[in-house]
Amino acid sequence: MYMSFNQEAHAQKGNLTVNNEKDWWRGAVIYQIYPRSFQDSNGDGVGDLLGIISRLSYVASLGVDAIWLSPFFTSPMLDFGYDVSDYCDVDPMFGTLADFDLLVVEAHRLGLKVMIDLVLSHTSDQHPWFVESGKSRDNDKQDWFVWADAKSCVDGAELQGSKQVPNNWLSIFGGSAWQWHDTRQQYYLHNFLSSQPDLNFHNIAVQDALLEVARFWMRRHVDGFRLDTINFYFHDRQLRDNPILPSEQRNSTIAPEVNPYNHQEHLYDKNQPENIDFLRRFRATMDEFDNVAAVGEVGDAQRGMQIMTQYTAGDDLIQMCYAFDFLSPESLDAQRIAAVINLFQQHSIDSWSCWAYSNHDVVRHPSRWQLDGSGQKLMNSLLLSLQGSVCLYQGEELGLNEGEVHFDQLQDPYGKQFWPKFKGRDGCRTPMVWSATAVNAGFSEVQPWLPVDSQQQLKAVSVQNNDSASSLANYREMLAFRKLFPALIKGELVKLKVSAALLSFERVIGEQRIFCAFNISDQVQLLTMDGFGTDVPWAEGWQTLQGLGYQSSCSEAGLQLPPWQAYYALQVG
């Protein structure tokens, strides 16, 4: 279907078993499911676990290796599950523990690994741990959260009529990161909503309790975890003020431009060195079970790549992490992509990355980068050719743009805080579009928790499923193509070159070597022999890999690549 030569022989040439269970995560493609918006099975307008089960055969048909489930734990849902009130149960909105067990069984039957989203840095203020901690300063959990006295004025007296916050730390969701607690007569730290108090990781009992949470789910046969805000676990014990960040260093990678969070250098409220020892403990806990892996979310605008490589170095920390380099609003061109790859390789010794363009927290990338169909397909090919694992977000395979959500339909507290300059995260969380004709796109028979976007519905699964020229077909083809070659899954990335709008590199493992080139523009680009010497990847000794719908003109003089198209060649002989 894709190539004219013996596919199986070339796939084996890398001398590596692609489906090695111990490192199944290395090069895996992980499909993120946002449960609230995937499939409603009981007619309440909210997606649930049984709904996910009913659609798992579709997910498996894409050719992905694993699913990542965003939080489904018991929660007051003020941050839609990222405010957990019981780590070891399923919120009734989503179903039951029995439903979850069925989901794992069905996913495994279909050959899919199951990863779940663990939110360890903070809980809901309704979690029993916080309720107990807030009762007094002398109970068993009095220091399970980050508590601090009000700061005094220079003369030693508190500000009259107010209580001064302990330091200048800010919440990502706006305002101070400190909330006053009347009973304790102290402030508690919250990096996100005031209803999401931060746990005190300096307390070993807290670490032990969270590791038991991980064991609970591994006993239910999960294959891994996505670790939310992995660099936020520890805070500076001295509660030192963050310095002001110079304006030329500010960016909106983590928080929208309108958010003052971008104006600080976050030296003390996250990214603390003690985190390394906890991650070693977490890895040792995972290693008590067979073949469990984790991917960490690193949220830092200035040092994200450095932290990502630090947390994944060696074999005793987290297997993989992702930073926000490809999730930021900044447009991607050949130079920018090359800079990100170079930065990773500069910091990386034996680290492993996980790349993503879209997720439940950022504007969908076709809208963010203003990509048409050809651009989306090209960027998908690039994503699936990079060294590292990959996260795909539900609906990404359909080429969905950001959904339209009006202010009176808004659910996200983040969007309500900064509207209209920042419209929140609801636009990337609108319901999955299954049918072009069914009510609510086949997601639910009743009004969904967020509106179905009519423009997205035009790209529904039912429209694309049998269209060989569709975005969905492209994702399936590219995922199948990737699986043929160990070099594309687990190989090194070498010989990175960038020229104008052309990006090229080679992926290498064992004896298998694949040349990859991408024209990231709407103009024809010529890749010449300059810089390749006699090792020209479109001349003798190389075989062009055909069948992905890309036409290119090759000669010994160079490679002429049409707009928004990719070229792959396999070294032979």
Please give the full DSSP string across 246-296, using - where no structure is assigned. Answer: PGGG---SSS-TT-GGGGB--SSSS--TTHHHHHHHHHHHHTTSSS-EEEE
Whole-number Å distance between alpha carbons of 75 and 32: 20
Show the 3-state SS of 233-260: CCCCCCCCCCCECCHHHCCCCCCCCCCH
How far apart CA 52 and CA 57 sit, in angstroms, is 10
- Going 238 to 244 to 246 to 252, the CA torsion angle's sign is positive
What domains are there in the chain, each with its CATH number? 22-124+204-482 (3.20.20.80), 492-571 (2.60.40.1180)
Active site residues: 228, 288
H or E element at residue 91: none
CA dist 294 and 24 (Å) reads 11
Please, which residues have CB within 8 angstroms of residue 269's CB and are 6 or more apart in sequence?
169, 177, 189, 191, 232, 235, 236, 242
Instruction: Round to whole Å and give the CA distance between 15 and 251.
Output: 43
Question: What is the sign, positive or negative, of the torsion defined by CA atoms of 147, 152, 157, 159?
Answer: negative
pLDDT of res. 330: 86
Amino acid at 250: R
C-alpha closest to that of 271 among 309, 233, 324: 233
**CB 500: neighbour CB atoms within 10 A?**
15
CA nearest neighbour of 98 among 225, 220, 226, 222: 220
Contact 166, 146 (CB under 8 A): no
pLDDT of residue 33: 98
Determine phi and psi for 440, rounding to 5 degrees: 50, 35
**Do the beta carbons of residue 311 and residue 230 sit within 8 Å?**
yes
Q: Residue 450, Cα to own-chain centre: how many angstroms?
A: 22
Distance CA 442, CA 462 (A): 10
| CA–CA dist 419, 411 (Å, integer) | 12
Whole-angstrom Cα distance, residue 493 to residue 508?
7
pLDDT at residue 9 in the model: 45
Token couple for 449? 């928790």
Ranges assigned E (strand) in 323-481: 354-356, 389-393
Residue with tokens 């929660």: 75
Reading the block at residue 184, the tokens are 């304790």
Averages of pLDDT over each 10 residues, the chain, 573 residues: 41 45 95 98 98 98 98 97 98 98 98 98 98 97 98 53 85 96 97 98 98 98 98 98 92 83 96 98 98 96 91 95 91 93 87 96 96 96 97 98 95 90 93 98 98 98 97 97 96 93 94 93 80 54 62 66 90 80
Q: In terms of Cα–Cα distance, which of 422, 333, 325 is closest to 369?
A: 333
Pairing relation of β-strands 566-571 and 512-519?
antiparallel
Helix (H) or strand (E) holding 165: none
Q: How far is CA 500 from CA 296, 334, 335, 493, 504, in A?
A: 33, 7, 8, 20, 11
* pLDDT of the residue at 552: 61
